[in-house]
Structure 1
Amino acid sequence: MDWSKSKSIFIIVFLILDIFLYSLYLNRYTEAQKVEVLGEKTIEARLKDDNITYAELPNIETAPYLYGSVKHFTEEDLQILNNNEVTIENDTKIIVNLKDPIAIEDINNPSNYVEFLQTNIIDSPSYMLWDVDEVNQTVTFFQRTNNRTIYYNNHGMVKLYLNTGNEIFKYEQTLFIDLVENEELEELWSPIQVIQLLYSKNLLKQDSSITQVKLGYSTLVQYTQTQVLVPTWEIRVKTKNDKEEEYFVNAVEGKVIELQLDQTKVEDDEE
């Protein structure tokens, strides 16, 4: 990659981000005022009344924005792929059809994929198991950096395709490179503020349990080759009917966001 060209792109992105920051600050202040008006009871008391439980919450007060470039795969990158049938889509996605499908004993056990990832995936330690779809016979891994997951980004994931015998016969890979942390740390919404936000929007149901609150990243600004990633809280909830739900909140701005592989939607809070 031409580092001088990449450096110029990052400088432009930094300037654009500065414009965002002030508006984010104003929006964050407005949101904070909204969620504080829940009545006389504290959020802890209200959760207790509705039998909504949560485990110990992480104590992360600040985190930086991230900047990353989309990996363009080369013939040299493909040397580890063991003469399988390989297609490169738009220079940024590897699509591999395996000549010899590889069986996975327990598709829900992350450790069963380690050898496959090490053998077939470029920069394999950068990925973590995210979803096993037994209906569509797919397994999805999201890229991570500094042990923080990059949620639902088409440019940072691995997707495996299984046959009816739970054998991997095809996979796809995309990859972020040159991930750089912004020098300035951003003040984050605390986990209890995020829980209060979800509660105020009636997203937390009675008799449910918040099973995980974790910090990762999602896309804030997307360009063709460069993206800005914002700290994002991931909240997992189990309802009284044992249904698993997941929510994502922009940890800087305090916005509930709907993440999908094709787009990131920020909810309209105008009421």
Structure 2
Amino acid sequence: MNFKRIQWIFLFAFLIFDLVVAGSLFFQNRFTISSSAPNRQEVILKEMRSDAITSVDLSNHAQSGYYIAGTRSGESGELGQQAAKLRDQSYHFNSGELASDLETGVKIDLKHPEKRLNRLVGDNRSIALGSHYRYSPQLSDRHTVVYAQQLAGRALNSPDGQIRFRVNNNSEVLGYTQTYLENTRILRPEATTISQQHAVTWLYKHNLIPNNSQVRWAKLAYTKLLNTGSHNQAVYIPTWIIEVRTKNDDTVQQLRVNAFNSTIMRSTPGSVNTSSLGK
């Protein structure tokens, strides 16, 4: 047999052998990595359960949102213009907030106040710009029913865009206050946010969820990030708002996490020029 031909046969055999070994090591490594590196968040959730922390089901799916700028409306703005259509109530403005007293009280079901109030909010002769708001059970209690303005499909969790109905001891709404965010604009393209699960486990890692407590809910909403320096203008971002109840004394607190970068939001918004955000 030709010596050169034998060399080629051995070379071909070694090449096949190397491919088989490399493939085997690749799949073995993949299996080892996936088997030995459990999801870090699952580990943290297990630690939370060990600390007697219970929670609603938490999604690990990322969502999306925007940087949004807007101006708080007032008597000379869109809210004031639309308020001129209101009937069967007396109202006035104070620092950009509309305050109204209804001529006739509206009876509601305290368990489901939206069943009656949705009709009121949907009537532009009763509530100005009502189609921009949705009922928010998380912000409501037996004395105040809150409707939050919607920004890019999510609730605005801010005093800058809410309807707050006053409820008396007879389960009647006698009046309300209203604020509205106008001239809203998107400053940057849509971006991915952290997941609901990530936000809650991040708070736990930073010792903000105490032992023997309950995570009652976690909602993604828009909150104020900062003021722009211009009159009544501000920037709003998607924020995970998590309500935690301490089981020992029923203390309830709402914690906030910036849904873009996981920053825990504690301080009062500062001021900034928004021109850089629009780039």
TM range (shorter): 0.5 to 0.7
Amino acid at match of 2:59: L
How far residue 195 of structure 1 moved from its aligned partner, in angstroms, is 2.2
State the partner residue of 1:7. none
Which of the numbers 132, 136, 145 marks the counterpart of 1:126? Answer: 132
How far apart in 2 are the matches of 1:79 and 1:203? 46
Equivalent in the alignment of 1:57? 59
In the aligned structure 2, how far is the partner of 1:108 from the partner of 1:220? 32
Q: 1:142–1:158: 8 Å Cα contact kept in structure 2?
A: yes
Equivalent of residue 243 in structure 2, options 209, 223, 236: 236
Give the strand-richer structure, 1 or 2.
1
The equivalent residue for 2:256 is 248
Instruction: Find the counterpart in structure 1 of residue 190 from structure 2.
Output: 185
Matched residue, 2:100: 96
Q: CA deviation at 1:114?
A: 0.9
Deviation digits for residues 123-162 of structure 1 (CA, Å, limit 9, x no counterpart):
223222243343xx333322222331211x2220111223
- SS of structure 1 residue aligned to 2:62: coil
> Does structure 1 residue 154 correspond to structure 2 residue 156?
no
Residues in 2 aligned to 1:75 and 1:83: alpha-carbon distance in whole angstroms: 17
Give the deviation of 1:95 after TM superposition.
1.4
**What is the CA–CA distance in structure 1 between the aligned matches of 2:48 and 2:80, rounded to whole Å?**
55
**CA 215–163 in structure 1, closer or farther in 2 if over 3 Å, else same:** closer
- Mapping 1:16-27, distance limit 5 Å: none
Q: Distance in 2 between matches of 1:235 and 1:242?
A: 18
Query: Are the structure 2 counterparts of residues 241 and 73 from structure 1 closer, same or farther at C-alpha, using a change threshold of 3 Å?
Result: same
Q: For the residues of structure 1 that align with 2:106 and 2:232, how far apart are their CA atoms? A: 33
2:25 — aligned with what?
none
Residue-pair matches, total: 219
Conserved 8 A contact 1:107-1:166: no
Aligned to 2:273: none
CA-CA distance at 1:238 after TM superposition: 4.5
Give, in whole Å, the separation in 2 of the partners of 1:47 and 1:241. Answer: 16
Q: What does residue 70 of structure 2 align with?
A: 68
Gaps of 5+ in 1: 1-38, 266-271
**Alpha-carbon deviations, 1:28-70, whole Å to 9, x = none?**
xxxxxxxxxxx9x942332242243441415125422111222
2:172 corresponding residue in structure 1? 167
**SS at 2:208's partner residue?**
coil
1:229 CA displacement:
0.4
Q: 1:237/1:110 Cα in 2 relative to 1: closer, same or farther (>3 Å)?
A: farther
Q: Which digits, 9 at most, give the CA deviation of each residue in 1:58-101, with x for residues without a partner?
A: 512542211122222466412431142121224x3221111222
Q: 1:181 to 1:164 in 2, by over 3 A?
A: same
Q: Are 1:218 and 2:223 matched, yes or no?
A: yes
Q: Aligned partners of 1:93, 1:177: CA distance in 2, in Å?
A: 13
The alpha-carbon deviation at position 232 of structure 1 amounts to: 0.5
Aligned pair in 2 of structure 1 residues 75, 197: CA closer, same or farther (>3 Å)? closer
Task: In structure 2, give the amino acid aligned to 1:144.
Answer: Q
Structure with bigger gyration radius: 2
How far does residue 108 in structure 1 lie from its aligned partner after superposition?
A: 4.8
Matched-pair identity in %: 21
- Residue 144 of structure 2 is matched in structure 1 by 138
Give how far 1:109 is off. Answer: 3.4
Structure 2 gaps of 5+ residues are: 1-39, 271-279
RMSD over equivalenced CA pairs, Å:
3.0
Please report how far the alpha carbon of residue 198 of structure 1 lies from its aligned counterpart in structure 2 after TM superposition: 1.2
Aligned to 2:45: 44
TM-score, length-normalised on structure 2?
Answer: 0.66
**How far did residue 247 of structure 1 move?**
1.6
The 8 Å contact of residues 151 and 222 in structure 2, kept in 1 or not, is answered as no
Query: 1:62/1:141 Cα in 2 relative to 1: closer, same or farther (>3 Å)?
Result: closer
Taking structure 1 as the reference length, the TM-score comes to: 0.68
